[in-house]
Structure 1
Amino acid sequence: MSFPISPRSGRSEALSRREAVAIAAAGLALATWPEMSSAAETETLDDLVQRVTEGTVPAEGGVRLEIPALVENGNSVDVRIAVDSPMTEAAHVRWIHLIADKNPFPDMARIHLSPRAGRAEVAITLRLAQSQTVAAVVAHSDGRYAIARAPVVVTLSACIDGG
């Protein structure tokens, strides 16, 4: 099945069903975008951390979040997270979750680890929409949570168009 294109477009061929579905899906995504971003804007960093830890208050300490305090370009921000953990079968880091509450999508990354990782240390490059506090939440195998926070000033923002 094909759908005719408006004569104003200058194209004489018709849209295929696949193209029509793709256009409709893109329109639906754009129509719901303000709802998604406004929901993220209402959650504070503490709310996001509580959601990730299922209501448990994470302990401060044991996590090193290395991120520049001043970032010239929010499109490329290098981050390093290191957790004090023996990384044995009995005691290891299950995951590290990065949160930037002022980004259009605040849940930046979740890195899953196992004892086979050897070290609880990761490096990642992020995009930051604006100046904000970035948090690294860590889940340990014994059910404990830990957190490190770092304020970052961004001079040239990323994610301006919501991307």
Structure 2
Amino acid sequence: MSSPISPHSRRPEGLSRRAVVAGGVAAVGLAALPPRAQAEDLQPLAELIARITEGAVPKRGKITLDIPQLVENGNSVDVKITVESPMTEADHVRWIHLIADKNPFPDMARFHLGPRCGRAEVATTLRLAASQKVTAVAALSTGGYVVADGDVVVTLSACIDGG
């Protein structure tokens, strides 16, 4: 026997409006998850960094990643990366690479620099698919690498369409 339906509410008795809305929100949330959001599909951050640095282990320090810890909208996250460097012909930053490992495409950007830049500083706006760690890796002309990262909590995700 099926549940009786109240003539005024057009929903089964015992099922509240709140339960119907919560169920609908949960279904939409699950459907919106990108296939890459599954844990087995994500490439570990250490592997991404090793690929970028060709196996070299980057050192901490001399690089600053300025990114907010909490963002309301993942579609627009401002970030600034600064590397301490004299930016001379003999000692400069070659490039800065940004990684967001929970995004559908974790390699966010690579900025190529040289001694003529004057200072090793870049600023941009990112799209983040979820709360995650954002990592900046810089290659130095002396052959080393430096790394900095920051955890970002995203309340409204971006990139849910896979692109």
TM over 0.5: yes
Deviations 1:20-73 (A, max 9, x none): xxxxxxxxxxxxx96x88799331111101110011110011100000000100
**Is it true that 1:146 corresponds to 2:146 in the alignment?**
yes
> Which has the larger helix fraction?
1
Q: How does 1:120-135 map to 2 (within 5 A)?
A: 120-135=120-135
Tell me, in whole angstroms, the C-alpha distance in 1 between the residues paired with 2:141 and 2:118.
14
Q: Percent identity?
A: 68
> In 2 relative to 1, CA 65–107 (structure 1 residues): closer, same or farther, beyond 3 Å?
same
Q: Which residue of 2 aligns with 1:15?
A: none
Q: Which structure's CA Rg is the greater one?
A: 2
**TM-score, structure 1 length as denominator?**
0.76
Where do residues 92-107 of structure 1 align in structure 2 (5 Å cutoff)?
A: 92-107=92-107
Q: Say if 1:37 and 1:105, in contact at 8 Å, map to a contact too.
A: no
Q: Which deviations, in whole Å up to 9, do the C-alpha atoms of 1:89-135 show, x marking residues without a partner?
A: 00000000000000000000000000000000010000000000000
Please give the root-mean-square deviation of Cα atoms over the aligned residues, in Å: 1.9
Please state whether the residue corresponding to 1:49 is helix, strand or coil.
helix
Contact 2:42 2:102 in 1 (8 A): no
TM-score (ref. length: structure 2): 0.76
* TM superposition outliers: structure 1 runs of 4+ over 2 Å: 36-42
Q: Decide whether aligned partners of structure 1 residues 40 and 110 sit closer, same or farther in structure 2, where only a CA change above 3 A counts.
A: farther
Structure 1 unaligned regions, length at least 5:
1-32
